[in-house]
Structure 1
Amino acid sequence: MKKYNVQNYIRYKEDLEVTLKLIPKKEFHEYTRTELTTVFLPLVENIARKFSTTQQASGVMTINDLIQEGAIGLQASVDRIEWQTIHDSDDKEKTLKSFFAKRIRGAIRRAIDINRGDMRIPEYKLNDIRKNFGKDRKIVQTFFNQVFMSIDENFNDEGDNPLFQVPDKSEPYNIALLNAYLLGIMKEHLTDKEYDVLRMSYGLDCDKHPAKDIASKLGIDGVSNYVRVSELKKSAIEKLVDNVSPDQVIDYL
């Protein structure tokens, strides 16, 4: 994973969360320029996360840089909104997101082109590379298997764990950041119940809970309610594997 300033990223996320809570809900045309830009900043990160941050793909740019360039593109697009088109739309939010997304992607791509170097790979060839000959799902599956297996493993003696027999020279992940990233992906793709089951099962933002406690908290009744929790956990992980883009997880492998 390419190095970037984790503290700056965490500070940005915290500041954005606080700021969004301070902005009152109203019609889109009633927002000020700054408010409208802020409201759609989460869209910027969502799009930026879909770009690979490998050296070959984006040069020296990190995820922080991609978010910054996307935010610049968002701000420029706010000034170019044709409000009559928005008013005539049946789904104003969807129309705005579509309008912004196109320009955010363009801003990020232009920044990548400037910083990546002289070699240019045609877009169709990049798409073929990204498809990875059908191995994309395996990449995502490997990521979630590694993450959730490592959380579940509980060996009393490290000598009994085959994972400890292979020397790991990589730098450790920032667990808080990884958990926050997992929660964001889960929130995007899972139902509320599936989200809560995984969150409490693996203790991503709380203590780990046994299946019976989770069933009780979520109102899952029945003698075998813990079995239902296990089923929800399994189906939630499968849903993540099926729906998460490899670009969102490959840097963690």
Structure 2
Amino acid sequence: MKAPTPVRSATTPAAPILELRKLNAGYGPVKVLHDLDLVVNAGEIVALLGANGAGKSTLLRTLFGRPRPTSGQILFEGQPIEGMPAHAVAKRGIAHAPEGRRIMPKMTVLENLQIGGHLIDPTHFAADVDKVFALFPRLAERRKQRAGTMSGGEQQMLAIGRALMQRPKLLLLDEPSLGLAPLIIRQIFDAIRDINVREGITVLLVEQNVVQALGIADRGYVLQTGRVVHAGTASDLLAMPEVRGAYLEGAIAS
């Protein structure tokens, strides 16, 4: 499959919104992240790539303190957040749409969105719901439907919409295309680009579909056993023989 040319030119905004410095984390005696350095600049889409088990999802969870870093720094807007409880991190302006969606299946679409907006001034709720419904019209059609009865693609739209209800400055997306049909994947990635371009929300994207991820990203990092092994602009990564051989010509990152 031919890799698309990235739709956005790589730029370097004035200041990073997220910085990881020599970050180490794991689960009990198992160390997963090793002296990891990573920067996400405000306004960017940054793709986080790598094989299954490379530590991508662990990195996102570590931002919320689960697991807690064993050493190193996590800076958000220049301020340390490592060790903060998850709700305090969310209040700072980071939202997470986790792998597997994890919506509330017995609640309606609207009730799930209410949960997403519980940290925000309730006077914004109606306007924020309207934005989510404009981004994902299918959710508007199913606003009173129980979330667990919807298709996988609709549930993924809801997971992203619920995260957006937090009015985040930084949106973490973990495998948003997992298990979805190609047409729905294109719709999801179009929505991610719109979130970034129209709403000005910075995105850190973990994704198994490397072609799609680098097609909308400004930059990317490739992880291997919890370490950064490649980093660069999306176009640079697409041109690297190591990346093409591992992820674009047979192997699938996850």
* TM-score bin, normalised by smaller chain: under 0.3
Whichever of the two has the greater Rg, that structure is 1
TM-score by length of 1: 0.28
Report which structure shows greater RCO (CA 8 Å, sep ≥6).
Answer: 2
